[in-house]
Homo-oligomer: A and B are copies of this chain.
Amino acid sequence: MSDEAEILAANTAYYDAFAAADFAAMSRIWADDDPTCIHPGWPALVGRPSILESYRQIFSNPHQERIEPRNATVLVTGDEARVLCVEFVAGAALAATNSFRRVDGAWRMIHHQASPIAALVEEPVAQRSSKRLN
């Protein structure tokens, strides 16, 4: 498996853990050393304890919307990698950065930040079709 494929798999594992509200999986994904996380609208979280606590809170919210990641771009330099992707959440789009570090052969998350995109809003497929027809 290429580095890029491994990093994309780690990125997918993050969103799968989020969708399943799987706290154990999320704990394994995050690196031990110096992780940082900026959820939309939140101040920066530094270190595993505060980051994992944030996911515990998010996962305990029964109204948490599903995140649909799209258009991932991978940039890798040695043991450091960034994935940029667009998160679609309840009709809104966010620009997300997920940074990974290779630790003992596994790509672990060291940074996550998602911020709202003003310009890009996806239309439902049905609406696009009807526009084309009119």
Give the interface of A toward B (CB within 8 A). Answer: 33-34, 36, 38, 40-44, 46, 73, 75, 77, 80, 82, 84, 86, 95, 97, 99, 101, 111, 113-120
Contact = CB atoms under 8 A, between A and B. Distances in A.
Copy tally for this chain in the complex stands at 2
A119 to B, nearest CB: 7
Nearest to A40: B115
Contacts of A101: 77
Contacts of A80: 80
Contact of A43 (B44, B77, B113, B119): B119
A83 B120 CA distance: 28
A42 B94 CA distance: 9
